[in-house]
Amino acid sequence: MATLEISEPMFAETIESNKLVILDFWAEWCGPCKAYGPVYEKISEEFPDVVFGKVDTEAEPELGRLFNIKSIPTTIAFKEEIGVFMQPGALPEDALRDLVNMLKGLDMDEVREELAKREQEKTE
């Protein structure tokens, strides 16, 4: 599956209706983004069951602000509607592949438990 251009109107639906979504926040003028793009595209083709989206921070500034994007490229991942990964900088091909495999195996029940525990600690 090729990467999807993600716009603000389709952002929530994309996150809500897919089990695993990986986003690349980028801009046309960004040299590292241009270098990362082909790597991101190649890995997206290896995982047809994962949604790989690209968010152009120039065209979608609200999404950039929503995630407090300070540098690009930035990779963000959502699994079962929960943000589980965020890292600025271009990821090497092997690291991106490893990330996708790790996220696919991530136990979301454990993640939800940990989030609930943190919420509980905040209220105490």
- Contacts of residue 116, Cβ cutoff 8 Å, sequence gap at least 6: none
Active-site residue, from 6, 15, 33, 77? 33
Active-site residue, from 15, 30, 55, 96? 30
Q: Is 32 a catalytic residue?
A: no
Tokens representing 118 are 């943190």
Q: Measured over all CA atoms, what is the biggest interatomic distance in the chain, rounded to whole angstroms?
A: 47
Which residues are 86's β-sheet partners?
76
Q: Is 19 a catalytic residue?
A: no
**Looking at the annotation, which residues are catalytic?**
30, 33
